[in-house]
Structure 1
Amino acid sequence: MEHYREHGDGYGYNPEDERENPNQTSKYDEALHKYNTKLNDDEIAEKTAKLIEKHLEENNTLEVKKFLFNCIDLTTLKCTDSETSVMKFTEKVNEFVDRYPDLKNVAAICVYPNMAEIVNDTLEADDVKIACVSGGFPSSQTFIEVKVAETAMALHAGADEIDIVISVGKFLSGDYEGMCDEIEELKEVCGDKHLKVILETGALGSASNIKKASILSMYCGADFIKTSTGKEKPAATPEAAYVMCQAIKEYFLETGRKVGFKPAGGINSVHDALVYYTIVKELLGEEWLTNERFRLGTSRLANLLLSEIVGSETKFF
């Protein structure tokens, strides 16, 4: 894991170090001990509500909506996806450049790995990434060898970014090593390509678990942490976002590394998007208000934002 070790404290150690003394505290427990992970769910809900009430309206501006549009990972993850439908989906992103020359395009197109090649062959718009869900998405219930192969194949087919899901079952049963080994191995496959790690916050059960999963995912090399797959209920929530952004801030203060944040699933309105923007702005600050560090995983939001930006109902995508 030379890629991580060179950055100093806060990244993976050599696994051999741990085996020399099996009775010592696990490196994952040591990583978690640097942070406050004992959170009260009611307190988090109250802090989140107060933050939104105080600051949301000041962010309800045209410029913020334009920025949010440029942060969208335009997503199609349906069982009905086909090469033809994904090609048409991608062509819409190409057409956007001519139709709205004064607006920045979406940040990325997010598809299943077997659709990366058709997006790569079709995409002409500049500054739009190709993101692929991988690693047995959305359940993460498959062999690590399959996860590695799928991720490598997605990258080979043209993916710029990979979205994986933590092994939630391993995390909840306390097998941090099993969960973290997978993230580290998949980050190694990605190299300098962004790895977004999905926590599936709705399945984690508490703010404390969300904080722990956030810290461990960043510790293992995540370039982004992401709330949800959108396939489980509840999906993204403001409270989960609050905890994750707080974790990102604390992790940055501890290690000096800036990890991105991506809410996804259940982002059904412009108001929802403004809520997440407000949380990021207030907890993480201006340095995170770039699509290199903030994304929104959604499909339906693009037309809603575009409608408010242009001032009339628009169904472009």
Structure 2
Amino acid sequence: MGIIKKTVDNDIKQQAEKTKKDAAEYGPSKYEQAFKKYDLNVDEKAVDEAVKKIIAEKVPENDNVEVKKFLLGSVELTSLHTTDTDESILAMTEKVNKFDNEYPALPHVAAICVYPRFTELVAQSLEVDGVEITNVTGNFPSSQSRMEVKVAETQLAIADGATNIDIVMPVGKFLSEDYEGVADDINELKEVCGDVPMKVILETCDLGSLSNVKKAAILSMYAGADYIKTSTGKEKAGATPEGVYVMCQAIKEYYDETGIQIGIKPAGGINTVMDAVVLYTIVKEVLGEKWLTNYWFRLGTSRLTNLLLSEITGKETKWF
């Protein structure tokens, strides 16, 4: 064991020395250069105050039926459980199929989000035009497998019929400040996805600060993300108003710099309709009307759908 540890330690030391040598020889990476275009030192107190102001002054005007209908159309109806079965996923898909007949005046959900094992089943069973099939790939939720495994899983998901892909940013690499490695992972999976939209999950609760949330957002967008997403829903916390506010700021600044529009998907911990209305309001106030479509604004949730339906219809509803 001592010999193995010594060998590993030497390899790590040699890699670190090579990285320093490359940096000295070739200068900062394109991602480090990109970072210099943005203010990555987020004032957390200022963010907290800005969010409180939005909630106090702007949320009440959005607490209405029309906004709740819009939110229903932005939901990615999600089932990512260890206990998922063919029968449970098929039942969820059938509810989406029958929804139009039961609620013809309401929008259908934006997507069904499942593990790749169920992609072909959903693709063969889904009958509603306009509902995407989202898959979590790339060794969700940890992103800790070999790159070959991540690539193969993503390729198979798309071959089976996935029309959206959600991956997790390699958080460990990010926390080790291996920004080149993070970007390479994201970029390689985006090449696999091609025209299929790819969302990068930042897992904001694990990043330690809002400054890191902004840095991770900028890095992911430059590396090829079509959307940035808050959370897997599998860690200690999910979407927060403050995290979404900072992500929206990053998207706006990136759009102003590049002209490229990036979508946003809050997910995890969206437990009430008011939670969703708050997030909607933040997106509206920071990013503006251009992002208020069911394409650019998504919500990853399972429980919210019935809660929205209940408030829209005025009676307790458990359709999904």
- TM (norm. structure 2) is 0.92
Amino acid at match of 2:33: E
Give the 5 Å matches for 1:42-57: 42-57=45-60
Give the 5 Å matches for 1:5-24: 22-24=25-27
1:212 equivalent in alignment to 2:236: no
Partner of 1:191: 194
**How far did 1:52 drift?**
1.5
1:270 equivalent in alignment to 2:282: no
Structural RMSD (CA)? 1.2
Q: 2:182 aligns with which of 179, 182, 196?
A: 179
Give the Cα separation in 2 of the matches to 1:243 and 1:65. Answer: 23
Give the Cα separation in 2 of the matches to 1:133 and 1:173. Answer: 24
Partner of 2:138: 135
**How far did 1:43 drift?**
1.9
Amino acid at match of 1:188: E
SS of 2:40's equivalent in the other structure is coil
Give unmatched runs, 5+ long, in structure 1. Answer: 1-18
1:93 equivalent in alignment to 2:89: no
Partner of 1:16: none
Give the Cα separation in 1 of the matches to 2:92 and 2:57. Answer: 38
**How far did 1:20 drift?**
10
1:84 equivalent in alignment to 2:87: yes
Give the Cα separation in 2 of the matches to 1:65 and 1:126. Answer: 21
Q: 1:104 aligns with which of 98, 102, 107?
A: 107
Identity, % of aligned pairs?
A: 61
Partner of 2:70: 67
SS of 2:190's equivalent in the other structure is helix
Residue by residue over 1:14-34, the C-alpha shift from the partner in whole angstroms, topping out at 9 and shown as x without a partner, is xxxxx7973401211101110
Q: 1:243 aligns with which of 246, 261, 269?
A: 246
Partner of 1:279: 282
Give the Cα separation in 2 of the matches to 1:101 and 1:235. Answer: 32
Give the Cα separation in 2 of the matches to 1:283 and 1:41. Answer: 16
Give the Cα separation in 2 of the matches to 1:291 and 1:140. Answer: 27
Give the Cα separation in 1 of the matches to 2:113 and 2:167. Answer: 12
Which structure has the greater CA radius of gyration? 2
Deviates more, 1:40-49 or 1:59-68: 40-49
Give unmatched runs, 5+ long, in structure 2. Answer: 1-21
Partner of 1:227: 230
SS of 2:112's equivalent in the other structure is strand
**How far did 1:125 drift?**
1.1
- TM (norm. structure 1) is 0.93
Partner of 2:41: 38
Give the Cα separation in 2 of the matches to 1:140 and 1:69. Answer: 29
Q: 2:151 aligns with which of 148, 152, 155?
A: 148
Amino acid at match of 1:272: D
Partner of 2:7: none
SS of 2:25's equivalent in the other structure is coil
Structure 1 runs (4+) greater than 6 angstroms displaced? none
Residue by residue over 1:202-226, the C-alpha shift from the partner in whole angstroms, topping out at 9 and shown as x without a partner, is 0001010000000000001101000
1:302 equivalent in alignment to 2:296: no
SS of 1:81's equivalent in the other structure is coil
Amino acid at match of 2:258: T
Amino acid at match of 1:125: V
**How far did 1:60 drift?**
0.7
Residue by residue over 1:154-203, the C-alpha shift from the partner in whole angstroms, topping out at 9 and shown as x without a partner, is 00010000000000010011000111001000000000110000000000
SS of 1:141's equivalent in the other structure is coil
Amino acid at match of 1:259: I
Pick closer, same or farther for the CA change 1:247–1:85 going to 2, 3 Å: same
Partner of 2:123: 120
Which of the pair is proportionally richer in helix?
Answer: 2
